[in-house]
Amino acid sequence: MTTTRLHTLYRGLAMLVLGTLMILSLRTIEANRETRLRQERLYFPSGDFLVESSLGFREAAADYLWFRFVQYYGAHAKGENDLRYFDVLIDGITKLDPRFVEAYHFASLVRWSSMGDVPGSFDILRRGILANPDNAKLKFQIGFMHYVLEHDYLRAAHWFQTASECSDASDKEARFAAFARQKAGDDRVSLALWKNLYETTDSPQMKELAEKMMTKLIRQLEIQKIYGDGFIGPIPPEI
């Protein structure tokens, strides 16, 4: 056998061995991956399972799972996972403790900011509101998303105003409702909201802001009365 043929044979054998090693390596990697995924599934059990196995300590279990979720999201921020079990974790936390407002709120932020799923973010907030109908924070967040992400100022104003009627509301919700109404072009309703805020707030700074906004809106409405609703431009100094 010539040297050329021997070289070709050895090269072919080497390629065969290399190919076999690559296949075995890929199978090993895949097997390890499946093992890891099975371990992750055990690490993140379903919400229904957690409710049944919490033995009456549902809030404590929710707090523990929340701690795990924070770790999980922190690992995602470092590029160590792809949030595959995001839904499992949030479902578990909110089923264990439906009144865990912060879980809904933070999960909605993650859903649209890290996962690009705005409709899914709205769904999380609506679930939270169903479980916490008198919570201002979740309703405000829906309004904020309509305002910032969708530029739907009228819908945003509706949610801000709804949030302002909750028992835990502050001046912030009413202030945003008034601003959003003005942004939507509804100056009369905005003026009414600023008047209500002026009459109900205990904050001197808020009273000052409301007074300035009322003055501005009254002048704008007077301009519209003189020049028509389609007036666009600076307010004449004589008004």
pTM score of the predicted model: 0.72
For residue 49, which amino acid is it?
A: F
Q: Phi/psi zone of residue 44: left (φ > 0), alpha (ψ -120 to 50 degrees), beta?
A: beta
Please state the rounded mean pLDDT for residues 82-109: 90
Closest CA to 110 of 140, 143, 75: 75
The 3-state DSSP class for residue 51 equals helix
Task: Give the pLDDT score at 12.
Answer: 53
Given a contact cutoff of 8 angstroms between Cβ atoms, the answer to whether 114 and 81 are in contact is no
Residue 201 CA, distance from chain mean position: 29
Residue 108 has pLDDT above 90, yes or no: yes
| pLDDT per position as a tens digit, 50-78 | 554 454 566 777 888 888 888 888 888 88
Neighbours of 25 (CB within 10 A): 10
Report how far residue 76's alpha carbon sits from residue 93's, in angstroms, rounded to the nearest whole number. Answer: 18
Report how far residue 175's alpha carbon sits from residue 162's, in angstroms, rounded to the nearest whole number. Answer: 12
Task: Give the pLDDT score at 7.
Answer: 55
**Going by C-beta distance under 8 Å and a sequence separation of 6 or more, which residues neighbour residue 27?**
none
Q: What is the dihedral of CA 138, 141, 145, 146, to 10 degrees?
A: 70
Given a contact cutoff of 8 angstroms between Cβ atoms, the answer to whether 88 and 105 are in contact is no
Closest CA to 108 of 145, 82, 133: 145
94 or 39, higher pLDDT: 94
> Poorest-confidence range of 47-51, 140-144, 170-174, 221-225?
47-51
CA angle 194, 195, 199 (to 5 degrees): 115
> Poorest-confidence range of 50-59, 84-93, 107-116?
50-59
| pLDDT per position as a tens digit, 115-127 | 899 999 999 999 9
